[in-house]
Amino acid sequence: MLLITGAAGFIGGNFVHHWFESSSEPVVVLDKLTYAGNAATIAAFLKPGHCELVQGDIGDRALVARLLNEHAPRALLHFAAESHVDRSIHGPGEFVQTNLVGTFGLLEEVRAYWTELSGEKRDSFRLLHVSTDEVYGSLSDTDPAFTETTPYSPNSPYSATKAGSDHLVRAYHHTYGIPTLTTNCSNNYGPYHFPEKLIPLMILNALDGKPLPVYGDGKNIRDWLYVRDHCEAIRQVLERGRPGETYNVGGKNEIRNIDVVTTICRKLDALRPRATGKYEDLITYVTDRPGHDRRYAIDPSKIEREIGWQPTETFASGIEKTVRWYLENDEWIAGVRSGAYRQWIQTQYGHESRGPGV
């Protein structure tokens, strides 16, 4: 079986959906169910012996040890993290605790478990650490895309803690021989994405007739990957990745934020037109994110060459699916937009609007 951390969140949740499309191998999910975790995302699969959800902290070492010894997983997939850059700017403490200290605790318990394994079980065990392209820092418009040998240069508290966790994973392979795999992926989008991130925030604000807050000049670039393509990359790296290696995962979809937002607006104009005007009328430029990375871009040559993975969705096909999903899933959306969510929106956007056209 697989032990998966953070699978009540966006990518881990999509991974569980993806996993059970082609496998009946059982899964145990360890998730703290923070504001970003939502049991509803994987509720359809929850059944003893098939998919079990244990609410707990990756930093609870006794719990992690118990789960490893009770279930004897052939792999641990580590998605759990504090993941939102803006929140890390407001309060980095939780990021250090979960992403760095939590990952350290997890590694220690995996070391204890793996050391006691023998033969084939020991050789075939994998710890797959899900990380981000943000560890490489920011690119100019003309810099080449990130490769696996690009020096780390994290700029936000979030990316600094992810970089630290990557280094710990690397060290546990190098020093203790733990068969680790690390993936560094670009920006994901798709179903079950918590609406504090750019794409779901824009879709839901637009549908509510609220301002669409674009940071700075809107020309920052991200490399967008449909979440199911990321999940398939993780599945393939788990099966075919070489222990100790890292793999960059990206969609070859470099797009400026303002173009992402206008694409969403036009899609909504077609699928659910406003009574008056266009959705683009709601675009509002706001104060920039402090330390805002200008551009991310992934060179996925290594995963293409060694693993044979390729993305299947273009941005056009992926955003169509994503917008339709948000139009059709009111219940999930209502569930995640709780009081705590409204409080975050007030903290982050309450007084920031500089008005359209700036």
Catalytic residue among 31, 133, 223, 232: 133
Closest approach, Cβ 169 to ligand DAU, in A, equals 16
Q: Is 107 exposed, middle or buried (0-12, 13-18, 19+ CB in 10 A)?
A: buried
Catalytic residue among 158, 192, 247, 296: 158
Residue 134 is among the residues annotated as catalytic for this protein: yes
Task: For residue 327, give the nearest of 276, 268, 285, 274 by alpha carbon.
Answer: 268
- Does 198 bind ligand DAU (CB under 6 A)? Our answer is yes
Residue nearest to ligand DAU (CB): 132
Residue 208 is among the residues annotated as catalytic for this protein: no
| Binding partner of residue 246 among ligand DAU, ligand NAD, none, CB cut-off 5 to 8 Å per kind | none
**Are the C-beta atoms of 278 and 208 separated by less than 8 Å?**
no
- Does 186 bind ligand DAU (CB under 6 A)? Our answer is yes
User: 165 to 194, contacts with ligand NAD by CB under 6 A?
Assistant: 185, 187-188, 194
The C-alpha R_g of the chain, in whole angstroms, comes to 20
Identify which of residues 126 and 162 has a Cβ nearer to ligand NAD in the complex.
162
Torsion angle, CA of 353/289/96/201, rounded to 10 degrees? 50
Site track for ligand DAU across 243-282, x = CB under 6 A: --------------x-------------------------
**Are the C-beta atoms of 325 and 190 separated by less than 8 Å?**
yes
- Does 100 bind ligand DAU (CB under 6 A)? Our answer is no
Identify which of residues 57 and 109 has a Cβ nearer to ligand NAD in the complex.
57
User: 148 to 177, contacts with ligand DAU by CB under 6 A?
Assistant: none
- Does 58 bind ligand NAD (CB under 6 A)? Our answer is yes
Strands 221-226 and 254-256: antiparallel
Task: For residue 332, give the nearest of 31, 16, 40 by alpha carbon.
Answer: 40
Q: If binding means CB under 6 A, how many residues of this protein chain bind ligand NAD? A: 32
DSSP track, 208-255? TT--EEEETTS--EEEEEEHHHHHHHHHHHHHHPPTT-EEEE--S-EE
- Which position among 15, 45, 136, 296 is part of the footprint of ligand DAU (CB under 6 A)? 296
Q: How far apart are CA 4 and CA 15, in angstroms?
A: 10
Distances (CA, A) of 54 to 45, 67, 107, 313: 14, 9, 19, 33
DSSP track, 293-337? --B--B--HHIIIII-------HHHHHHHHHHHHHH-HHHHHHHS
- Does 295 bind ligand DAU (CB under 6 A)? Our answer is no
Identify which of residues 59 and 243 has a Cβ nearer to ligand NAD in the complex.
59
**Are the C-beta atoms of 199 and 226 separated by less than 8 Å?**
no
- Does 230 bind ligand DAU (CB under 6 A)? Our answer is no
- Which position among 133, 166, 229, 254 is part of the footprint of ligand DAU (CB under 6 A)? 133
Residue 113 is among the residues annotated as catalytic for this protein: no
Closest approach, Cβ 197 to ligand DAU, in A, equals 4
Q: How far apart are CA 296 and CA 59, in angstroms?
A: 30
User: How is residue 317 written in tokens?
Assistant: 């096909």
**Are the C-beta atoms of 290 and 231 separated by less than 8 Å?**
no
User: 57 to 96, contacts with ligand DAU by CB under 6 A?
Assistant: 83-85
Site residues, ligand DAU (CB under 6 A)? 83-85, 132-134, 186-187, 197-198, 201, 213-215, 220, 222, 257, 289, 296
Site residues, ligand NAD (CB under 6 A)? 5-6, 8-12, 30-34, 36-37, 57-59, 79-83, 98, 102, 130-132, 162, 185, 187-188, 194
Which residues are designated catalytic? 133-134, 158
